[in-house]
Structure 1
Amino acid sequence: RSITLSNIYDPNADEPQFYAVAMDKIKNFGNSHCIIVGDFNIYLQQSLDTSDYQHINNPNARKQVIDMMGDLDLLYMFGEIMTRKHKETFKAY
């Protein structure tokens, strides 16, 4: 079985076309399984990923990532795990 492993770093800009290109490249590998990790500079689940933060960063890029996850049948593993046990990846002092 072949697995596509992709590490993505998206600069902090609202550029959904970045993810459209990335999705096309990942699909072109032709593997039925893929793991995508990295720094997307977006919040997928604001209640889990932020603390008392009201603004949604990069809303168009965020929508593209959510669409990409649906197209590739991907899970947001941090969200899957943390909905069972709420923890934050940061702490404001």
Structure 2
Amino acid sequence: MIRSYNHKGFVLEVAIESSSRLVPSPGEVRYLASVTISRSGRPVTAFSPLSIKNTRYSSFTSVEDALMNAHTAACRLVDELMRAA
């Protein structure tokens, strides 16, 4: 699953993929988030692409959690980049 968001002139592309076996046990499916931040169609090389992880685990328990955390982290990185400029 891929979602794109606009934030302060940047495009934040969040890709989510599942990390599980072919037939997972209940509660065993985890989700990974990867973020690409671009401007004018080109990735911002200072921090793109990124893998976003949960603070306690290397993956998330739901797609929604992965999307929200990756989007929030990408927005914070863009905000920091804009403040530093």
**Is the TM value for this pair above 0.5?**
no
Greater share of helix: 1
Structure with greater strand share of residues? 2
Give the TM-score taking structure 2 as reference length. 0.24
Larger RCO, structure (CA 8 Å, separation 6 or more): 1
